[in-house]
C-alpha cells in the first residue's frame, strides 16, 4: 500500500517537475531563439519629427543713403526690427518666417559707390565693399534725386545679394522715423518676396509631406518642371546629325562646357554633384515630319507635334549605367539639308526666337539651322563649326529651369540685372538653397517616419545595427538642419539636410528590409502544433489529474471534518 | 450697327482662340505625370506555358510601340521560349495562330530572365530595395511624377500568384509593396493588369491611393487560353491579353481613347470569364484618363522662351603636361582570391543558435527517461 502511495507521489513529482522545466526553461529558450534581432530605434524622436515646425530666418540690412533721412531721424538709426509670420500648412506642419531687419545709414564709401552713373556700376562697386553671407540681403534706399535708376524703375535687383530701392521724394520730409520706416515697409516686403524665400516656393518644396491642390495650372507646371532634390545629376549633351553626307559638324563641346556651363555648376556645387558627358549621334531622325510653310519658306514644327519628337530619339540615347542619378539630356538637332531651315512654332503659330523647347524633368532640345552657312553650290559634305555661345545660352536657360532656379517674372517697377557669367545671381542661388533645404528636410522626415511606422507594423523584419545607425544619424542631422534653419545659417542647414536625406534613403532602401516574412496564422499553427502538441498533452493532462485529485482530497477532508 | 456686329464677332473669335490655347495647354498638364514606366512580369516556366511569355511580350511590344523606351521598362520573363529546345521556329514567339505576328523580334531587352524572376526580386524591384551593385536597367527608378503600368501573368489562385512553380506571392504582400511605394512617393498613378485564373482576388487587398486595377477573371473563375497553334503545339495566347492586344493595336501615340474603353475589352462572350476592374482608389474619373497615360509615353513640352546672352569667348584648354605625370594614378585589379585574408581569418561572429531538432530531442529524451525509470505503468497517472 505504502509503495503504491510512494509511487504515486513520485509520479506526481515527476509530472510537476517536467511542467516546471518546460515553463521555466523551455518557453524562454524558445522565445529567445525565435525572436528577430531588432536594434533600438529612436522612436520618440522620430515621432517628434513627424510634427514638423520649420522656422526660416533671413537677415535683411536696410541701408539709408544720404537724402532719405533727416539729421534728427539719423540719430535714432541704427535700429533693429523683427517681423514674424506664421502659416499652418496642415495639422502636422507649420511654417514660421522671421525677418530680422537692421536699419543703418550709409558709410562714406557706400555713398561714393551709390553716386556712380549707372546702377550696374554702382552694384559692382558695392560688391567690392562688403560680402554678405549666404541667405542675407542688403537693400540700399536711395532718394528720388539720385540718377542711378531710370524713370519707371523703382527697384534694381543686383547680381549678388543687393538691391537698390528708390523711395519717393515726399517720403523723408516732415515725418518721424517710425512713419518713414512704415512707408518703406511694403516696398521692402515686395523686394523680399522676389529676392528671398516666398511662401509659394516653400509650400511647393513641402509637396512630399503635404498633398495639396495648387491653385493654378502655372503652379502645377512649375512644380512638375524641376527635378526633385537629388545628391547628384548627370548632364548629357548630344549632337544629332541626321545627314552626315551633307553636313560635317564640329562642336567644341569641351570648351563650351568649360566656359559656359561649368561656372554655373561650380556655383551650384553645394547643392549636388554634377557629372557631364557628351555624345554625337548620326542618322538620328525626329519622329515627326515637319511641314513646309510657304509663307515663311521654311519647314515648321508646331507645338502639338513636339511632344512626339522625344520618344524615338530617347531610345537611341545612351545613359550612364553606373549611377542611379537623374539624367538631364540636352539635344542639339541640326536638320538635314532637305528639311532646312526648320523652325519651331508656338501655339500662336509664331516662331520661337530660341528655336528650342524643353520637357519637364527630362531635358531640352534645340534646333540649329546651318543652311545660312553655305550656298547652293557648296561641295558636300560641308564643314560647319557650331556657334557654342548661342547654343550654350539656350541650354543654360533650360538648365536653370530644370534645376529649379525660380523664374517667375518680376513685379512691375522691378529691374533685374542680367545674370553674370555664372548664369545665376547670388540671391537666386539663395532662394534655391532655401527651397532645397526645406525639400530635403520634408523628404527625410517623411522617409524616417514611414520607415518607423513600417518597422513597427511588421514585427518580423530584422533591424540590423547598420540600419539603426543610419536612422539615428538621419534623426541627428534633421534636428541640426532644423536648428540651423532657425538660426539663419543657410549653408549649414543645406549641408545637414543633405546628410539627413542620404542617411534616411540609405536606411529606407536597405536590401535587408524586405518584407517577405508574411506568415498567415494558419501557417504558423501548422508549424508549431506538431512540435509542441505531443509533449504538451501529457504534461497538461497530468497536471489536470493532479489538480482533480487534490480537489477530491480536499472534499474528503471537508466531509471528514464534518 | 454693322461695325458693332463686326466688332463683337471679332471679339468672340479672339476669346474663342485664347480659350482654345488655354484648353490645349491645360490638357497637357491634366494628368500630372512626366514620365512612364512599365513592369511586365511573366511568372511561369515550362514549354506548355508558352502563352504566358507570349502575353508579356505582346504587352511589351505595344508599350514600346507607343513610346516607352527600354530604359523605362522592366521586363521579367521566367523562361526562355524563343530558344527553347521544343520550339519548332527558334528565336520567335508568336501570338497569332498561323504564325502571323512574331512578338519576339530583334529588339527585345529582357531585364530579369529565367531563375532571376522570383518573388523576392519582384518585390525588390517594386520597393527599390535592390543591392547597390544592381545596374540601372534592372531598377525601377520612378519618382513622384511617374505613371507605372504593372502587368502580371501566369498561374494564379484565390489570393496568390505562382512564381516559377515553386513559390507564390500573396495579395497581401502585393498590397503592402504598393503601400511602401506610395509612402516613398515612387509613383503618381499605377495601372495594375493581371491575366491569371481568379485574377480579381489579387487586387482585392489594395489600399493605397491612385491605383487602378484590371483582371481577366473574377474569383472562382478560370482565365482561358485563346487558340492553339498546331505547328507549335501549344496555346499561343490567353484570351484576355489577345483581345487587349487587338485593342492596343488601334491605339497610336496621339489617340484620345480613355480607360472606359479599356474596361470594355473582352466581354464575357469573347473571354468566357468575366473581366473585372477596380477604380475606387483612383482619384481621377476613369473617363478622363487616356490610355496613353499608362501605355504610352507622351512627353509634356514647354517652349523655351528665353535664352541667356553669353559673350565670353571659349577658353582654350591649357596643356598641363608636367603635372599630369605626377598625378597619374596607378590602377590595378582587385585581388580575385584574397589568400592572405583567408589564411589569417578571424572566426566569424555568429549568433548562437541551438542545434536543429534540439527542442524535439530534448522533450523526447525527458519523456523516455521518465518512462524508463518509472515503468510504463505510470502512464495511467497521466492519462
Q: Yes or no: say if B88 and B53 are a contact pair by the CB < 8 Å rule.
A: no
Whether the CB-CB separation of A223 and A200 falls below 8 Å is answered with no
- Sheet holding B160-163: strands in order across? B156-157, B160-163, B167-170
Q: Tell me whether strands A79-90 and B167-170 are parallel, antiparallel or unpaired.
A: unpaired
pLDDT of residue A433 exceeding 80, the answer is: yes
Q: How confident is the model at residue B204 (pLDDT cuts 50, 70, 90)?
A: very high
Of residues B15 and A501, more confidently modeled: A501
Question: Which among B29, B136, B254 has CB closest to A324?
Answer: B136
CB contact under 8 A, B184 and A508: yes
Mean pLDDT within B67-95: 92
Asked if residue B20 has pLDDT above 50, the reply is no
CA dihedral A480, A484, A490, A496 (to 10 degrees): 0
| Residues from chain B contacting residue A364 (CB–CB below 8 Å) | 304
Angstrom distance (rounded) from CA A53 to CA A504? 19
**Can you name the residues that pair with A55 across neighbouring β-strands?**
A96
User: Which of A68-77, A321-330, A358-367, B169-178 is predicted least confidently?
Assistant: A68-77
Dig out the grid coordinates for A430 from the structure.
539663395
Cβ distance of A394 and B136 shorter than 8 Å: no
**Rounded to an integer, what distance in angstroms lies between the CA atom of residue A427 and that of residue A429?**
5
How do residues A81-90 score in pLDDT, each as one tens digit? 888 888 887 7
Residue B1 has a pLDDT of 59
Contacts of A481 by beta carbon, 8 Å cutoff, 6+ apart: A437, A440, A441, A493, A496, A497, A500
**pLDDT given for residue A488 in this prediction:** 85
**Which range in A203-212, A320-329, A383-392 is most confidently predicted, on average pLDDT?**
A383-392
Q: Where residue B13 falls among pLDDT bands split at 50, 70, 90?
A: very low
Residues B121/B112, Cβ–Cβ less than 8 Å = yes
Distance to chain B for A347, nearest Cα, Å: 7
Q: Is the pLDDT of residue A214 over 60?
A: no
Three-state SS sequence of B78-129: CCCCCCCCCCCCCCCCECCHHHCCECCCCCCCCCEEHHHCCHHHHHHHHHCC
Which of B19, B56, B18, B24 is closest to B39 using CA atoms?
B56
Give yes or no: B42 in active site.
no
d(CA B104, CA A197): 54
How crowded is residue A42: how many other Cβ atoms within 10 Å of its Cβ? 17
Q: Give every CB contact of residue A320 below 8 A, 6+ residues apart in sequence.
A: A234, A236, A275, A277, A327, B136
Angstrom distances, CA of residue A126 to CA of A64, A221, A236 = 14, 37, 38
Residue A114 CB-density burial (10 A; 0-12 exposed, 13-18 middle, 19+ buried): buried
Own/partner long-range contacts of A379-385 (Cβ < 8 Å, ≥24 apart): A380/A245, A380/A246, A380/A337, A381/A244, A381/A245, A381/A246, A381/A247, A381/A248, A382/A246, A382/A247, A382/A248, A383/A248, A383/A250, A384/A247, A384/A248, A384/A249, A384/A250, A384/A334, A385/A250, A385/A251, A385/A252
Phi, psi angles (nearest 5°) of residue A510:
-65, 130
Residue B325: pLDDT over 60: no
Average model confidence (pLDDT) across chain A = 85
Is 60 exceeded by the pLDDT of residue A302?
yes
- Pairwise pLDDT comparison (A374 vs A498), residue with the higher score: A498
| DSSP β-bridge partners for residue B74 | B39
H or E element that contains B61: helix B50-65
β-bridge mates for residue B73, sequence order:
B38
Catalytic status, residue B72: no
Convert the pLDDT of each residue in A113-159 to its tens digit.
Answer: 888 888 888 888 888 877 788 888 888 888 877 777 777 788 888 88
Q: Of B33, B42, B197, B271, which is the active-site residue? A: B197
- pTM of the full predicted structure? 0.81
B68 CB neighbours in chain A (<8 A) are 311
Is the per-residue pLDDT at B2 higher than 70? no
Whether residue A75 is predicted with pLDDT greater than 70 in this model: the reply is yes
Residues A311, B254: C-beta atoms closer than 8 Å = no
Mean pLDDT of A391-403: 91
Using pLDDT thresholds of 50, 70 and 90, give the confidence band for residue B27.
very low
For residue B381, the model assigns a pLDDT of: 64
Nearest alpha-carbon partner for B123 in A516, A424, A138: A516
pLDDT of residue B259: 93
The mean pLDDT value for A218-228 works out to 76
Taking the Cβ of residue A259 and every Cβ of chain B, the question of whether any pair is shorter than 8 Å is answered with yes
Q: Which residues of B touch A258 (CB under 8 A)?
A: 314-315, 317
Q: Residues, chain B, total?
A: 383
- pLDDT confidence of residue A79: 83
Helix (H) / strand (E) element for B313: namely none
Q: What is the mean pLDDT of residues A370-384?
A: 83
Whether residue B342 has pLDDT greater than 80: no
Q: Which region among A331-345, A375-389, B20-34 has the lowest average model confidence (pLDDT)?
A: B20-34
Minimal C-alpha gap between B354 and chain A (Å) = 8
- CA A175, CA A466: separation in Å to the nearest integer? 65
pLDDT at B198: 93
Which pLDDT does position B305 carry in this prediction?
A: 85
Q: Which residues of B touch A311 (CB under 8 A)?
A: 67-69, 253, 297, 299
Q: Are strands B189-195 and B167-170 parallel, antiparallel or unpaired?
A: unpaired
User: What's the whole-number mean pLDDT along residues A311-334?
Assistant: 84
The mean of the pLDDT values for chain B is 84
Sheet holding B112-113, edge to edge: B112-113, B73-77, B35-42, B146-153, B189-195, B211-215, B276-278
At residue B190, the 3 state secondary structure works out as strand
User: How many angstroms separate the Cα of A166 from the Cα of each of A238, A331, B215?
Assistant: 46, 44, 67
The neighbouring-strand residues paired with A134 are: none
A531 against B141, higher pLDDT: B141
Q: Is the pLDDT of residue B17 over 70?
A: no
Residues B218 and B274 sit within 8 Å (Cβ to Cβ): yes
Give the Cα separation of A430 and A398 in Å (integer): 19
Place of cell 490638357: B27
Determine contact: A530 vs chain B, CB below 8 A: no
B88 burial level (CB within 10 Å; 0-12, 13-18, 19+): exposed
How does residue A170 score in pLDDT terms, banded at 50, 70 and 90? low
Query: Which residues touch B216 (CB under 8 Å, ≥6 apart)?
Result: B194, B195, B196, B199, B223, B238, B239, B240, B241, B266, B271, B273, B275
Q: Is the pLDDT of residue A448 over 80?
A: yes
Question: Which neighbouring-strand residues pair with A331?
Answer: A238, A365
Which residues have C-beta within 8 Å of that of residue A219, sequence separation ≥ 6?
A: A200, A204
Contacts of A255 in chain B (CB under 8 A): 314-317
The pLDDT of residue A176:
75
Contact status, residue B259 vs residue B284, Cβ threshold 8 Å? no
Helix (H, G, I), strand (E, B) or coil at A491: helix
- Nearest-by-CA chain B residue for A323: B136
Query: Quick one: residue B375, left, alpha or beta (phi over 0 = left, psi -120 to 50 = alpha)?
Result: left
Q: What is the pLDDT of residue B18?
A: 42
Cα separation, B253 vs A355, whole angstroms: 24
In this prediction, what percent of chain B has a pLDDT beyond 70?
A: 83
Domain boundaries, chain B: 33-295
List chain B residues with CB under 8 Å of A217.
Answer: 25-26, 29
Residue B22 is predicted with a pLDDT of 41
The closest CB to that of B304, out of A259, A308, A364, belongs to A364
The predicted-structure confidence for B143-180, as pLDDT tens digits, reads as follows 888 999 999 999 999 999 999 989 999 998 899 899 88
The pLDDT tens digits for A173-194 are 556 777 778 888 888 888 888 8
Give me the CATH code for the B33-295 domain, please: 3.40.50.1460
Provide the b/e sequence for B368-378 (b: ≥16 CB within 10 Å).
Answer: eebbeeeeeeb
A30, A319, A511 member nearest B359 (Cβ): A30
Spatial distance between the Cα atoms of A271 and A229, rounded to a whole number of angstroms:
8
Of B194, B197, B195, the C-alpha closest to B220 is B197
- The bridge status of strand A356-359 relative to strand A363-367 is antiparallel
Q: Give the model's confidence band at B318: pLDDT under 50 very low, under 70 low, under 90 confident, else very high.
A: low
**C-beta atoms of A535 and B363 within 8 A:** yes
When pLDDT is averaged across residues A156-165 and rounded to a whole number, the result is 85
Residue A257, C-alpha cell as written in the block: 562646357
Which among B141, B172, B374 has the least Cβ separation from residue A11? B374
3-state secondary structure of B289: coil
**At residue A236, does pLDDT exceed 80?**
yes
Type and span of the H or E element at B15: helix B2-28
Q: Do B305 and A352 touch (CB under 8 A)?
A: yes
- Measured CA to CA, the distance from residue A133 to residue A484 in angstroms comes to 14
Amino acid at each position: 500500500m505504502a509503495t503504491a502511495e510512494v509511487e504515486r507521489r513520485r509520479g506526481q513529482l515527476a509530472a510537476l517537475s517536467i511542467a516546471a522545466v518546460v515553463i521555466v526553461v523551455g518557453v524562454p529558450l524558445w522565445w529567445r531563439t525565435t525572436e528577430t534581432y531588432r536594434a533600438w530605434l529612436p522612436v520618440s524622436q522620430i515621432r517628434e519629427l513627424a510634427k514638423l515646425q520649420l522656422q526660416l530666418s533671413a537677415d535683411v540690412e536696410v541701408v539709408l543713403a544720404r537724402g532719405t533721412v533727416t539729421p534728427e531721424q539719423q540719430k535714432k538709426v541704427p535700429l533693429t526690427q523683427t517681423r514674424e509670420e506664421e502659416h499652418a500648412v496642415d495639422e502636422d506642419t507649420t511654417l514660421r518666417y522671421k525677418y530680422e531687419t537692421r536699419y543703418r545709414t550709409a558709410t562714406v564709401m557706400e555713398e561714393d559707390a551709390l553716386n556712380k552713373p549707372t546702377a550696374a556700376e554702382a552694384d559692382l562697386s558695392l560688391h567690392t565693399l562688403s560680402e554678405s553671407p549666404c541667405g542675407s540681403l542688403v537693400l540700399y534706399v536711395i532718394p528720388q534725386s539720385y540718377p542711378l535708376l531710370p524713370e519707371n524703375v523703382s527697384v534694381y535687383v543686383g547680381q549678388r545679394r543687393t538691391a537698390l530701392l528708390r523711395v519717393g521724394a515726399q517720403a523723408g520730409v516732415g515725418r518721424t522715423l517710425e512713419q518713414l520706416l512704415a512707408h518703406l515697409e511694403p516696398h521692402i516686403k515686395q523686394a523680399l518676396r522676389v529676392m528671398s524665400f516666398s511662401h509659394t516656393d516653400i509650400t511647393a518644396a513641402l509637396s512630399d509631406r503635404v498633398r495639396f491642390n495648387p491653385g493654378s495650372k502655372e503652379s502645377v507646371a512649375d512644380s512638375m518642371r524641376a527635378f526633385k532634390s537629388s545628391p547628384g545629376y548627370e548632364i548629357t549633351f548630344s549632337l544629332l546629325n541626321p545627314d552626315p553626307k551633307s553636313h560635317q559638324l564640329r562642336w567644341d563641346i569641351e570648351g563650351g562646357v568649360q566656359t559656359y556651363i561649368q561656372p554655373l555648376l561650380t556655383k551650384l556645387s553645394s547643392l549636388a554633384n554634377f557629372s557631364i558627358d557628351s555624345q554625337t549621334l548620326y542618322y538620328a531622325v525626329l519622329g515627326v515630319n515637319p511641314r513646309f510653310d510657304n509663307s515663311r519658306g521654311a519647314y515648321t514644327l508646331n507645338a502639338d507635334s513636339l511632344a512626339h519628337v522625344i520618344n524615338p530619339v530617347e531610345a537611341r540615347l545612351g545613359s550612364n549605367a553606373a549611377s542611379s542619378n537623374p539624367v538631364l539630356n540636352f539635344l542639339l538637332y541640326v536638320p538635314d539639308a532637305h528639311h532646312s531651315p526648320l523652325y519651331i512654332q508656338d501655339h500662336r503659330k509664331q516662331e520661337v526666337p530660341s528655336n528650342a523647347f524643353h520637357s519637364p524633368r527630362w531635358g531640352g532640345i534645340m534646333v540649329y539651322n546651318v543652311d545660312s552657312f553655305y550656298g547652293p553650290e557648296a561641295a558636300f559634305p560641308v564643314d560647319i563649326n557650331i556657334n557654342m555661345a548661342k547654343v550654350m545660352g539656350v541650354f543654360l536657360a533650360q538648365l536653370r529651369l530644370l534645376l529649379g532656379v525660380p523664374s517667375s517674372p518680376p513685379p512691375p517697377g522691378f529691374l533685374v540685372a542680367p545674370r553674370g557669367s555664372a548664369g545665376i545671381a547670388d540671391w537666386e542661388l539663395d532662394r534655391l538653397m532655401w527651397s532645397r533645404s526645406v525639400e530635403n528636410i520634408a523628404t527625410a522626415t517623411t522617409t524616417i517616419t514611414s520607415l518607423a511606422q513600417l518597422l513597427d507594423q511588421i514585427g518580423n523584419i530584422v533591424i540590423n545595427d547598420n540600419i539603426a545607425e543610419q536612422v539615428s544619424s538621419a534623426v541627428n542631422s534633421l534636428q541640426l538642419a532644423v536648428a540651423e534653419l532657425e538660426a539663419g545659417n543657410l549653408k549649414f542647414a543645406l549641408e545637414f539636410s543633405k546628410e539627413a536625406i542620404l542617411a534616411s534613403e540609405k536606411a529606407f532602401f536597405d536590401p535587408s528590409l524586405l518584407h517577405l516574412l508574411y506568415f498567415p496564422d494558419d501557417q504558423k499553427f501548422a508549424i508549431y502544433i506538431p512540435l509542441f502538441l505531443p509533449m504538451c498533452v501529457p504534461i497538461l493532462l497530468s497536471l489536470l489529474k493532479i489538480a482533480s485529485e487534490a480537489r477530491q482530497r480536499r472534499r474528503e477532508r471537508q466531509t471528514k471534518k464534518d | 450697327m454693322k461695325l458693332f456686329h463686326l466688332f463683337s464677332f471679332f471679339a468672340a473669335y479672339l476669346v474663342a482662340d485664347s480659350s482654345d490655347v488655354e484648353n490645349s495647354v491645360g490638357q497637357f498638364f491634366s494628368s500630372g505625370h512626366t514620365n512612364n514606366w512599365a513592369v511586365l512580369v511573366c511568372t511561369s516556366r515550362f514549354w506548355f506555358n508558352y502563352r504566358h511569355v507570349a502575353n508579356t511580350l505582346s504587352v511589351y511590344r505595344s508599350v514600346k510601340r507607343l513610346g516607352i523606351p527600354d530604359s523605362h521598362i522592366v521586363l521579367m520573363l521566367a523562361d526562355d521560349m524563343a530558344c527553347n529546345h521544343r520550339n519548332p521556329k527558334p528565336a520567335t514567339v508568336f501570338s497569332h495562330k498561323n504564325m502571323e505576328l512574331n512578338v519576339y523580334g530583334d529588339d527585345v531587352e529582357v531585364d530579369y530572365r529565367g531563375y532571376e524572376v522570383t518573388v523576392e526580386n519582384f518585390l525588390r524591384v517594386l520597393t527599390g530595395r535592390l543591392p547597390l551593385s544592381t545596374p540601372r536597367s534592372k531598377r525601377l527608378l520612378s519618382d513622384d511624377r511617374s505613371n507605372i503600368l504593372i502587368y502580371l501573368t501566369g498561374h494564379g489562385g484565390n489570393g496568390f500568384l505562382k512564381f516559377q512553380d515553386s513559390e507564390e506571392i500573396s495579395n497581401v504582400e502585393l498590397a503592402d509593396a504598393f503601400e511602401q511605394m506610395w509612402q516613398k512617393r515612387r509613383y503618381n498613378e499605377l495601372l495594375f493588369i493581371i491575366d491569371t485564373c481568379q485574377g480579381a482576388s489579387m487586387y482585392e487587398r489594395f489600399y493605397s491611393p491612385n491605383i487602378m486595377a484590371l483582371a481577366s477573371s473574377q474569383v472562382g473563375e478560370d482565365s482561358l487560353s485563346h487558340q492553339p497553334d498546331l505547328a507549335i503545339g501549344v496555346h499561343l495566347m490567353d484570351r484576355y491579353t489577345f483581345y487587349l492586344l487587338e485593342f492596343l493595336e488601334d491605339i497610336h501615340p496621339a489617340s484620345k481613347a480613355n480607360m472606359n474603353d479599356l474596361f470594355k475589352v473582352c466581354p464575357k462572350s469573347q473571354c468566357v470569364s468575366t473581366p473585372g476592374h477596380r477604380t475606387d482608389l483612383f482619384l481621377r474619373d476613369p473617363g478622363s484618363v487616356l490610355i496613353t497615360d499608362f501605355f504610352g509615353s507622351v512627353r509634356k513640352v514647354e517652349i523655351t522662351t528665353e535664352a541667356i546672352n553669353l559673350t565670353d569667348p571659349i577658353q582654350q584648354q591649357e596643356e598641363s603636361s608636367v603635372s599630369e605625370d605626377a598625378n597619374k594614378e596607378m590602377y590595378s585589379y582587385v585581388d580575385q582570391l584574397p589568400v592572405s585574408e583567408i589564411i589569417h581569418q578571424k572566426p566569424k561572429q555568429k549568433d548562437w543558435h541551438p542545434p536543429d531538432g534540439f527542442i524535439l530531442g530534448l522533450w523526447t529524451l525527458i519523456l523516455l527517461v521518465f518512462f524508463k525509470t518509472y515503468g510504463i505503468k505510470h502512464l495511467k497517472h497521466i492519462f
